[in-house]
Amino acid sequence: MAPDASPPPKPPASEGAPGAPRPLPSAEEFVQVQASPQFGELRRTHRGFAFPLTVAFVLWYLAYVLLSNYADGFMDTKVVGNVNVALILGLAQFLTTFLIAWWYSHRAAARLDPKAEAIKSRMEGGA
């Protein structure tokens, strides 16, 4: 078989057969779900956590950049040996990035994923 040849077509599955693909929801069904209280609650839960945390992190990052540019004396302050404030704050940027990602992952698994799964199963006809 040539590497650029497409695989042979699969025979169509009967509509009611187990494992057969379900038809995709219509645009109207998506609009209905988007207007539902459950979707609104999912969106509020996500935004209530993600937006403030994003703003806080961007402010923290900008503070580091501004300190690096305009507070040379402060950032050059030695803490231990050749380790200065700038290095500590720079490494703290990485630490906070990983902590935020971890925190978001755990919070999403606990609060967002169950709500999203309920909406998904309703859209797929399971509920």
**64 close to 89: Cβ distance less than 8 angstroms:** yes
Among 52, 46, 57, 64, CA closest to 98: 57
Instruction: Count how many residues are written for the chain.
Output: 127
**pLDDT (0 to 100) of residue 17:** 59
Mind listing the pLDDT tens digit for each residue in 97-127? Answer: 999 999 999 999 999 999 999 999 888 875 5
State the pLDDT confidence band at 78, using cuts at 50, 70 and 90.
very high
* Assigned token pair, 3: 């590497």
Mind listing the pLDDT tens digit for each residue in 24-37? Answer: 888 888 899 999 99
| Side-chain-facing half-sphere of 81: CA atoms under 13 Å | 1
Among 51, 16, 59, 38, CA closest to 123: 38
